[in-house]
């Protein structure tokens, strides 16, 4: 019997989470409109992944997807910051209204707990570091604004309707299945794709901007812990990262060593909505969820680089 639903489960993080759920519980249901997700990400799971194609803003689709479900992992979203700057109304529809629809459907279906994928983007450019959950959010993009609204909806449904919910503020997630060819691709898959092609990796800005890079396996672990941890579910918010600040030039150097190729980068103007520095304080997640990174960052990056190299060979 399927008891877990992953919205956005054909995407990068969602498909990794779906695979872990299948490994532990035997089956998973996925709801994805395939606007950015790929059915092939779920292909290794075979019939253990029940893929429903549809949008989280559609109440009818959601009602069907929620039947028999006990835990919802809500990852479906417009996640490209630059795109949300250009299309703020669509970002509001998908990220804020979509979350509201998911919560309404979950409440009607008797779901026990909802885990929301939020983002470090809610913090914005506040210079105070590390980012703590008690800090006042100052989002600088529609992406951050809509994720913050989604967190408030989770908290409202927990307190008003008794629908247990937790929001996880993901920092910069990386790992297998992250698409390097999307125009909104994240730094790590873009850098690896360029290095493997022998092209200059493109850096937006001066390369001194920092991020807290977190392996997708750690994020999946955090999601599962948030779905089952006792004593949480009242709309709490937790940072999910490593607590390590890494600038893009250092990141590129690590990746170049990982694939055995060094190509000087090409610098481009900063992207709209990008923040300058970011690093998480993960002590609250460690204390309340038992969350901790599984391996050193350089080892996780080297493993990811090997995955992309092997994936390239399989495609050739």
Catalytic residues: 143
Distances from the Cα of 41 to the Cαs of 13, 35, 48, 259, in angstroms? 10, 13, 13, 23
Structure token digits, residue 77: 């979203």
CA-CA distance, 234 to 159, in Å (whole number)?
Answer: 6
266: CB partners within 8 A, 6+ apart? 200, 201, 202, 203
Other C-beta atoms closer than 10 Å to the C-beta of 152 total 13
Structure token digits, residue 39: 């059915």
For residue 112, whether the previous peptide bond is cis, meaning omega lies within 30 degrees of 0, is no
Name the burial class of residue 316, with classes exposed (0-12), middle (13-18) and buried (19+) by CB atoms within 10 angstroms of its CB.
Answer: exposed
Q: Which residue spans within the chain are E strands per DSSP?
A: 4-7, 28-32, 49-53, 71-74, 113-119, 164-170, 172-174, 202-204, 210-211, 213-215, 234-240, 246-247, 266-268
291: CB partners within 8 A, 6+ apart? 218, 221, 222, 225, 238, 240, 282, 285
DSSP-assigned letters across all residues of 121-167:
GGGTT---SSB-TTSPP---SHHHHHHHHHHHHHHHHHHHH--EEEE
Number of continuous H segments (helices) and E segments (strands) in the chain: 11, 13
């Amino acid at each position: 019997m399927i008891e877990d639903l992953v919205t956005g489960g054909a995407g990068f993080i969602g498909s990794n989470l779906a695979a872990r759920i299948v490994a532990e519980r035997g089956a998973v249901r996925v709801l994805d409109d395939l606007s950015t997700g790929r059915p092939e990400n779920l292909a290794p799971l075979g019939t253990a992944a029940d893929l429903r194609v549809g949008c989280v803003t559609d109440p009818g689709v959601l009602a069907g997807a929620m039947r028999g479900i006990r835990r919802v992992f809500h990852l479906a979203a417009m996640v490209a910051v630059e795109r949300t700057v250009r299309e703020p109304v669509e970002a509001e529809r998908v990220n804020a209204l979509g979350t509201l629809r998911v919560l309404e459907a979950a409440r009607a279906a008797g779901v026990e707990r909802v885990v929301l994928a939020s983002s470090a983007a809610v913090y914005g450019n506040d210079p105070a570091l590390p980012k703590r959950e008690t800090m006042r959010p100052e989002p600088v993009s529609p992406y951050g604004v809509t994720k913050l609204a989604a967190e408030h909806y989770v908290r409202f449904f927990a307190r008003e309707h008794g629908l247990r919910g937790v929001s996880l503020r993901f920092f910069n997630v990386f790992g297998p299945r992250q698409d390097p060819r999307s125009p909104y691709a994240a730094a790590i898959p873009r850098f690896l794709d360029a290095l493997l092609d022998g092209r200059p990796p493109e850096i937006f800005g001066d390369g001194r901007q920092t991020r807290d890079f977190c392996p997708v396996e750690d994020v999946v672990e955090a999601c599962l812990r948030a779905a089952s941890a006792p004593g949480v579910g009242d709309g709490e918010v937790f940072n999910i990262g490593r607590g390590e600040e890494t600038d893009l030039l250092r990141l590129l150097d690590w990746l170049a060593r990982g694939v055995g190729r060094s190509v000087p980068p090409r610098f481009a103007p900063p992207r709209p909505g990008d923040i300058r520095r970011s690093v998480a304080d993960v002590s609250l997640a460690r204390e309340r969820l038992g969350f901790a990174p599984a391996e050193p960052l350089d080892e996780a990056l080297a493993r990811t680089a090997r995955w992309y190299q092997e994936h390239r060979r399989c495609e050739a």
